[in-house]
């Protein structure tokens, strides 16, 4: 009997603690008038940073949090601080970010969605963020082992973070009907920022970025900023000032004892379509190079992504040399099989960044284009830093 009473007391205490924590979190949310929850397959970190920059420029006290290449909390003055993760990434950290933002008395919080599993998208939105505005950049074939198996399933998964009685902005077009259904169900206004909005973001806008930004990211951030009454010129000025994600698409030119090497960082593009697009952009811009090298950083814990790149894409087959690094290098090589001339394949599976650099230099001609693809995680970011620190200008350039 005593044991039963003790158990009941323990359960009662835990229930009271959970209720108190939930009530505290709701009060923290109520102190933030505008909460913008950003999800999507590609571009969500960029859109988070772009929109936060636009709102800051307009005088709206704004905090932002990204979970792209590196988890960062962006303070109202634009300063960035790392997000402490004692047990690794966990969506519960979103509640901690809300608490910090409420204590800073911000008017707006722009926060990148962390969820992958369908149920976690719903929990993240309905319990943790309760957004006044949601943004879904796009729905593409990535993380299919969790969000799939099809691209339409990815769209359904992302639709789980549709806010209730708010607004949902999206640049997705192929699966727009799925998002429309979710918006109707939750009494939310759906704003489709389609391809017709992208041409309005012309060269005069894109030339102001110190890295290669995507016009569709700028277009959806502009549409979101306009709903806060921010005029176009102010929004663009703020976006130009916003620091890019560490994994943003950049190029670095290296003069290595007479050899010209152009390194393009495309590691952060996770899905095959985006990766192919970066490859084509790099080839188009650097037609004058003598050889083309595909540098894949691969992760053993992302086998489906490696399979997609190896068997589901063929753009890389025109490369003069392919260099594979990371824990998933041998897996990618097995998937490639007879699709590529093995004599042009270089495996540097567990090499340090400086060793990868040496392998690349060995493969280079008098002038070469090297495009990094696959994963920014693992040693991807360290490889980018290694090339950047040895570049001629030691600065970011357009890819």
Q: What pLDDT, on a 0 to 100 scale, did the predictor assign at position 232?
A: 97
Given this model, what pLDDT does residue 395 score?
45
CA dist., res. 34 & res. 31, Å (int): 9
Q: What's the rounded Cα separation, in Å, for the pair 72 and 243?
A: 12
- Give me the pLDDT at residue 351, please: 78
- Give yes or no for a contact between 295 and 375, defined as CB atoms under 8 angstroms apart: no
Count Cβ atoms below 10 Å from residue 163 Cβ, excluding itself.
24
Examine domains 25-241 and 250-389 and report if their fold is the same.
no
The fourth-level CATH superfamily of domain 25-241 is: Mur-like, catalytic domain (3.40.1190.10)
Question: Which whole-number Å values give the CA distances from 60 to 155, 168, 310, in the listed order?
Answer: 31, 20, 45
227 phi and psi angles, rounded to 5 deg: -70, -15
Q: What is the CATH number assigned to the segment(s) 250-389? A: 3.90.190.20
Q: Please provide residue 323's backbone torsions phi and psi, each rounded to the nearest 5 degrees.
A: -115, 125
Entry pTM: 0.82
Domain residue spans of the chain: 25-241, 250-389
pLDDT value of position 357:
94
Cα distances from 145 to residues 41, 44, 174, in angstroms, run: 14, 20, 21
Give residue 11's pLDDT: 64
- Mean pLDDT split into 10-residue runs, the chain, 399 residues: 63 63 90 97 94 98 90 95 86 94 97 94 94 96 87 95 96 95 97 80 91 90 97 97 87 91 90 88 89 94 85 88 92 82 83 91 93 90 92 57
Would you state the pLDDT for residue 181?
97
Q: Hey, how many other C-beta atoms are within 10 angstroms of the C-beta on 34?
A: 17
């Amino acid at each position: 009997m005593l044991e039963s009473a003790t158990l009941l007391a323990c359960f009662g205490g835990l229930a009271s603690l959970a209720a108190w924590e939930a009530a505290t979190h709701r009060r923290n949310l109520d102190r933030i008038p505008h909460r913008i929850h950003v999800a999507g397959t590609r571009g969500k970190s960029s859109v988070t940073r772009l929109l936060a920059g636009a709102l800051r420029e307009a005088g709206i006290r704004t905090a932002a949090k990204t979970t792209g290449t590196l988890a960062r909390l962006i303070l109202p003055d634009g300063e960035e601080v790392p997000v402490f993760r004692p047990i690794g990434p966990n969506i519960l950290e979103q509640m901690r970010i809300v608490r910090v933002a409420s204590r800073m008395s911000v008017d707006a919080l722009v926060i990148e969605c962390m969820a992958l599993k369908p149920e976690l998208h719903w929990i993240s939105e309905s319990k943790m963020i309760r957004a006044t505005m949601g943004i879904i950049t796009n729905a593409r074939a990535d993380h299919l082992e969790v969000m799939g198996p099809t691209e339409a399933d990815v769209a359904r998964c992302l639709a789980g973070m549709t806010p209730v009685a708010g607004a949902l902005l999206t640049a997705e077009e192929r699966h727009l009907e799925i998002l429309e259904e979710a918006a109707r169900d939750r009494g939310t206004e759906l704003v489709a920022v389609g391809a017709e909005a992208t041409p309005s973001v012309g060269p005069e806008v894109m030339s102001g970025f110190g890295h290669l930004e995507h016009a569709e990211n700028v277009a959806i951030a502009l549409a979101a900023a306009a709903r806060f009454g921010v005029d176009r010129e102010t929004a663009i000025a703020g976006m130009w000032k916003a620091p890019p994600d560490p994994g943003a698409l950049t190029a670095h030119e290296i003069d290595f004892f007479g050899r010209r090497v152009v390194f393009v960082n495309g590691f952060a593009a996770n899905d095959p379509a985006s990766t192919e697009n970066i490859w084509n952009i790099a080839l188009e811009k650097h037609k004058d190079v003598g050889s083309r090298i595909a540098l894949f950083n691969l992760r053993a814990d992302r086998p489906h992504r490696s399979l997609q790149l190896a068997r589901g894409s063929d753009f890389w087959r025109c490369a003069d040399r392919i260099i594979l690094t990371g824990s998933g290098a041998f897996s990618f090589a097995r998937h490639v099989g007879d699709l590529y001339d093995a004599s042009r394949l270089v495996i540097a599976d567990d090499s340090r960044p400086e060793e990868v650099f040496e392998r690349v230099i060995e493969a280079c001609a008098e002038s070469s284009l090297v495009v990094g693809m696959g994963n920014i995680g693992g040693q991807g970011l360290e490889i980018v830093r290694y090339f950047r620190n040895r570049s001629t200008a030691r600065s970011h350039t357009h890819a």
